[in-house]
Amino acid sequence: MDNKRLINIFVIVFVDLLGFGLILPLLPFYADEFGATPFLVGLLTAIYAAAQLVGAPLLGRLSDRFGRRPILLISIFGTFLGFLLFGLAVPVGQKLAALVGIPTNQMILIILFISRALDGFTGGNISVAQAYITDVTTEKDRAKGLGLVGAAFGLGFVFGPAMGGFLSSYGFPVPAFAAAGLSAINLVMVILWLPESLPKEDREAAALNRKSKVNLNALFEALRQPKVGPILSVSFFYGLAFALFSTMFSLFAQYKLDLNARQTGYVLAYVGVLIALVQGAGVGPISKRFPDRWIIMTSTTILTISLLIWAFTGSIVLLLIVMIPLAGTSGVLNTVLRSSLTKVVDKEEVGGILGISSSFESLTRVIAPSLGGLLLGSLGTWAPGVAAAIIMFGVIILAWITIFNQFDEQQNAAELN
């Protein structure tokens, strides 16, 4: 295993998530300056996930044909442009508004949408990074190498919101310029220190392969599988509920608790630390002591209650307290569901089924911001949390009807063997 290459890939993914985290807490505050409604703020968040949903598989396929390195360079440069455009939204929007004759605030919001779409599309380079790790690791070391991507995700989400909240005190464009600077450093690192990992003959073979287009039927086929489908369904609706929380939290903090961008960033970093701690130190002992089916049922129940409490939280102290079970059970549930998927498919299907699971996760981040923004704007700050709790209550019922007995049968079979 080439540790130098893995470190470079780790940094690439970390910077992607760091940049995302830098922008996340200030989006509602920045957009609000130009008259954006909560629904528009939700759409502004959703456009990133929608673009990533398209960009990730496309960039992955292109890297099979042209190599990992050139696609990484193109995608990182696109991310750099997205951050730069976000930071320059005001001057660029003012000049364009004067040229086309539309209100300045509307044009600035359009620029913000374009910048987030560009960043989301090129942010799909994570799929290329995972492919690079596959190229440079053996089967024995691959899990450890791919684990670096998850670590980079967690660290980026911990440090990004805190840094974004701090830098926003100097002006909302400043975090965007900082993220652009990190992307520029990232670009230089790839140019100087990251060689191509995919052999020429493999690229040529991929170019001749006519089956490299997206196969949407794979999603529906997976849902129809008796063991895989229920777990994917539970994962999707859990993901939708948690995405309602994560994407609406900044608006909730602003409207309900009157927190500013810096304070919101610190709270999001606190949530990231809780999730990272649970996934890093808590899931292992818990999964060894309790069967998957009990972990899933217990976690969904606690998460449902926590989301409902969050919906009506009126103080920062109560918020910090309720974040402990909310973040903790979410970290456990997410990990156990992914682990469960790998146990119900053949070894050669593990990568594909986890990829499909990631596609469903991206889809929840497209739906949740728009739905949450509409609920918050029309009903109140409590609405996204109540909606998330209702969805999770449905997950409890779905899990009990479908996968609980399935895991029970698997456990009995394992004991007999």
Cβ contacts of 224 within 8 Å, gap of 6 or more: none
Rounded CA separation 395/387 (Å): 12
CATH topology of domain 215-417: Growth Hormone; Chain: A; (1.20.1250)
Q: Where are the alpha helices (DSSP H) in 123-227?
A: 125-136, 139-167, 173-193, 200-208, 217-224
CB 198 within 8 A of CB 64: yes
**How does pLDDT run across 108-121, given as a tens digit for each residue?**
889 989 998 888 88
- 8 Å CB contact between 250 and 165: no
Contact 138, 6 (CB under 8 A): no
Please tell me what DSSP assigns to residue 348.
Answer: G
Q: How far is CA 139 from CA 115, 133, 145, 341, in A?
A: 38, 11, 10, 19
Q: Scanning the structure block, which residue is given the tokens 């690439």? A: 12
**Averaged pLDDT score across all residues of the chain:** 78
Its CATH class, for the domain covering 1-211, is mainly alpha
Q: How far apart are CA 150 and CA 138, in angstroms?
A: 19
For the ranges 139-143, 202-206, 331-335, which has the lowest average pLDDT? 139-143
Domain locations along the chain: 1-211, 215-417
**What is the model's pLDDT at position 417?**
45
Q: Tokens 């670009």 appear where?
A: 187
Alpha-helical runs (H) found in 261-380: 261-277, 283-289, 292-311, 316-343, 350-378
Q: Report whether pLDDT(215) > 70.
A: no
- Model pLDDT, residue 301: 93
Of residues 65 and 246, more confidence is placed in: 246
The highest-confidence range among 251-260, 281-290, 360-369, by mean pLDDT, is 251-260
More confident residue, 408 or 124: 124
Query: CA nearest 49: which of 86, 72, 31, 24?
Result: 24
CB-based burial of residue 152 (10 Å sphere; 0-12 exposed, 13-18 middle, 19+ buried)? buried
Q: State the pLDDT at residue 294.
A: 85
For 96, other C-beta atoms within 10 Å of its C-beta total 15
